Structure 1
Amino acid sequence: MSLPTVSVIMSVYNGAELAPAAVRCILDQSFADFELIAIDNGSFKDDTRAVLNRIVNETGDRRLRVVELDQNIGLAGALNHGIGLARGRYIARQDHDDLSAPTRLEKQVRFLDANPGCGLLGTRAEIWVGDEPTGRYHDHPLDNGTLQVDLLVNNPFVHSSVMLRRSALDEVGLYTMDPRRQPPEDFELWSRIARAFEVANLPERLLAYREMPASMSRDGANPFLEKLLLLCAENIAWWNGLERPDQSCRDAAALLHAAYEHVSLTADIAAICARVDGACAAIATKFGSADVDPRREQVLANLRHHFMHARKLPDWTKSLISLSRNLPVPAALKNWAKARLSR
């Protein structure tokens, strides 16, 4: 039996309502040489497992394989489990609440076959709420140079749209299972891939990405933000040849995310810009400067802009916000302090 070209990995957790459409959008792809590994990640609130097995029985499609986990092992754990079972030379992601266009796999395989240096390929995406398009889009940059600079700061890939080269995962490893570094497990993995391989996005919107309702209010520390800042600081440090981030790398990450409470009281904008400029220069040396240089100027301009805003905070206010990371300072007081920046 020949091996499939693509292994599509879908982790499903309490997704009985939306998963059938996600599965069928893959089974109906114009590119047929794939396997779809659908993982019931310990669902307990609905009949996800029965729904997935029903699709297998109804379609009789041997490309679909259902994997049943008795307990939830987290998204990263489920994806790593699926990758361990995958047989394709390309690994594609599909979330159970998103929808792929019929030509998505075909266009991604064609691009990766033609660009052997690319280890990570995403697509642009429409943003939906429920079953309705919003008229908003995730139109991330396309070229490697711009994306490499953007990855210093944030995640310019829609997770459910990506296709990965299996050899890239063999070289850099799978999704991190370290709770101190995920979520965002996707950004953490993309960062490691981008250090060794080119990356790209296709210009077409080949995914319908559903925004799911979530509370944005939070009292106390934001663990996602803190992990994001750590990864950004590590990326800047790595391209500068540092074993670990120094204060300037950490300050750069905080400024670029407008996380002023994480900026040190002695932040040196010259040293901060030098770290980001050094990272961009290293990227340009490895991949070429044509697409790197314009993005570098934008990032440096953003750094200086946010530094000027951060300086508007008096020292006692900075100290208050800094202390609030570990002390139960009332949210209203913290928000008042941050609001002074907009005056």
Structure 2
Amino acid sequence: MAPERKKDFISVVIPCYNASRYIEDCLNGLIKQTYRQFEAIIVDDGSGDGSEEAVKRWMNEHSPFFPIVYLKLPRNVGFAGALTVGYFLSQGEYIAVHDADDISHPERFEKQLSFLHRHPHIALVGTNYAAFPDGHFEQKTPANWLAYGRDIRRVYAEGKHCICHGTIMFRGGVFDQLGGPTRRIHGAEDYEFIVKFLNAKLEVENLPDILYYYRSHPQQRSRQFYKKGGS
């Protein structure tokens, strides 16, 4: 039986692996959100770099005003596994994804939630984003590989990708029905998760607004699989 989810509440799931240098920037961006009805769920995937200390230090300063759940896994289970753990912990009617090394625009949650309210047939919505080199937030470059509307389904049918995974917000009830991302396709978990929605005849969309800032740095996970510009 599916859990009862909190209406108009957002659960923000943040998989974290050796992100001690960036996690505080991520959380500082979340605390500035104009929409306040949300929780942050950080799933630490067995980090060994001081991520736990960074998160707990931030929590000690902000947690009385900011609902945050921190769970450190006893061993590294991988990106898809950490996400799925966070999805199981989520309470919200809506689930948002956030990479630990990125930053969200203050109006991200407000605009995505408003869009999903106005379009009840849409199950998942991403946003446009801008990439910036680590240490140079002012040097932001807008993405140019996303698609919108009917083009999204066509792009995925061609085996390509056009939604930035770190920007997505989706209805929690869909996770309760379909489950989380696969752990069988290393490096393409985000692609497969969107395809799972499309195969279930669910509608997905992107907002053209730049509501997310993608940090480019040598240790980021996506560099193992993609050229700069994709996520």
Q: Under a length normalisation based on structure 2, what TM-score does the superposition of the two structures give?
A: 0.86
Of 168, 175, 183 in structure 1, the residue corresponding to residue 174 of structure 2 is 168
Tell me if 1:58 matches 2:61. yes
C-alpha distance in structure 1 between counterparts of 2:50 and 2:219, whole Å: 23
C-alpha distance in structure 2 between counterparts of 1:65 and 1:214, whole Å: 25
Tell me if 1:157 matches 2:163. yes
Q: What residue number does 1:219 align with?
A: none
C-alpha distance in structure 2 between counterparts of 1:162 and 1:36, whole Å: 15
- How many angstroms does 1:88 deviate by? 0.4
- How many angstroms does 1:211 deviate by? 2.0
C-alpha distance in structure 2 between counterparts of 1:173 and 1:135, whole Å: 34
Structure 1 unaligned regions, length at least 5: 216-221, 226-343
Q: Between the two structures, name the one with larger relative contact order (CA 8 Å, sep ≥ 6).
A: 2
Q: Is the 8 A contact 2:29 2:104 kept in 1?
A: yes
C-alpha distance in structure 2 between counterparts of 1:62 and 1:135, whole Å: 28
Asked which structure has the greater CA Rg, the reply is: 1
Q: What residue number does 2:229 align with?
A: none
Q: What residue number does 1:317 align with?
A: none
C-alpha distance in structure 1 between counterparts of 2:219 and 2:207, whole Å: 28
Question: CA 1:214/1:102 → structure 2, altered by over 3 Å: closer, same or farther?
Answer: closer
Q: Under a length normalisation based on structure 1, what TM-score does the superposition of the two structures give?
A: 0.59
Of 203, 207, 227 in structure 1, the residue corresponding to residue 208 of structure 2 is 203
- How many angstroms does 1:61 deviate by? 3.0
Of 73, 80, 96 in structure 1, the residue corresponding to residue 77 of structure 2 is 73
Give 1:110-149 correspondences, 5 Å limit: 110-132=114-136, 133-139=138-144, 140-143=146-149, 145-149=150-154
Of 214, 218, 221 in structure 2, the residue corresponding to residue 213 of structure 1 is 218
Q: Which amino acid aligns with 2:213?
A: A
Q: What residue number does 1:29 align with?
A: 33
Tell me the alpha carbon deviations over residues 215-246 of structure 1, each in whole angstroms, 9 at most, x when there is no partner: 9xxxxxx9x69xxxxxxxxxxxxxxxxxxxxx
Q: Is the 8 A contact 1:93 1:161 kept in 2?
A: yes
Tell me the alpha carbon deviations over residues 172-200 of structure 1, each in whole angstroms, 9 at most, x when there is no partner: 2211122xx23210100100102221111
C-alpha distance in structure 2 between counterparts of 1:142 and 1:134, whole Å: 25
Q: Is the 8 A contact 1:147 1:200 kept in 2?
A: yes
Of 82, 85, 92 in structure 1, the residue corresponding to residue 89 of structure 2 is 85
C-alpha distance in structure 1 between counterparts of 2:56 and 2:121, whole Å: 38
Tell me the alpha carbon deviations over residues 269-290 of structure 1, each in whole angstroms, 9 at most, x when there is no partner: xxxxxxxxxxxxxxxxxxxxxx
Look up the SS of the partner of 1:54 in the other structure.
Answer: helix
More displaced 10-residue stretch of structure 1: 133-142 or 57-66: 133-142
Counting aligned pairs with the same residue, the percent is: 29
Tell me the alpha carbon deviations over residues 281-321 of structure 1, each in whole angstroms, 9 at most, x when there is no partner: xxxxxxxxxxxxxxxxxxxxxxxxxxxxxxxxxxxxxxxxx
Q: Is the 8 A contact 1:9 1:37 kept in 2?
A: yes
C-alpha distance in structure 2 between counterparts of 1:119 and 1:127, whole Å: 26
Question: CA 1:142/1:40 → structure 2, altered by over 3 Å: closer, same or farther?
Answer: same
Q: What residue number does 1:233 align with?
A: none
C-alpha distance in structure 2 between counterparts of 1:214 and 1:25, whole Å: 21
Tell me the alpha carbon deviations over residues 140-177 of structure 1, each in whole angstroms, 9 at most, x when there is no partner: 1221x111101122111111111011122223221112
The structure 1 segments of at least 4 consecutive aligned residues displaced by more than 3 Å after TM superposition are none
- How many angstroms does 1:134 deviate by? 4.2
Give 1:263-342 correspondences, 5 Å limit: none
